[in-house]
Amino acid sequence: MPMFEYICLECDNKFEELVMRSDTVVNCPLCKSADVKKMVSAFSSSSTSGGSNDSSSCGKSSFG
């Protein structure tokens, strides 16, 4: 499920929101503030089988 974790910058409330589109406006369920920040979810922190870097994506797009 496209669930994202957000934290409200107004009341520091952490909540999850189902976001289908990136342009979805997320409001804090407590203070109804739109001043929220999307948090990075820590999925699959460690793998069991071996430990090889699977990052084949070369060329980091530098912004600036």
Minimum gap (Å) between residue 40 Cβ and Zn ion: 19
Q: Is 64 helix (H, G, I), strand (E, B) or coil?
A: coil
- Residue identified by tokens 């409001």 is 27
**Gap between the Cα atoms of 21 and 40, Å rounded:** 17
Pick between residue 18 and residue 30 the one whose CB is nearest to Zn ion: 30
Minimum gap (Å) between residue 4 Cβ and Zn ion: 16
* Of the candidates 23, 24, 26, 1, the residue with the CA atom closest to the CA atom of residue 15: 26
Contact set with Zn ion (CB under 5 A): 8, 10-11, 13, 28, 30-31, 33
Pick between residue 30 and residue 39 the one whose CB is nearest to Zn ion: 30
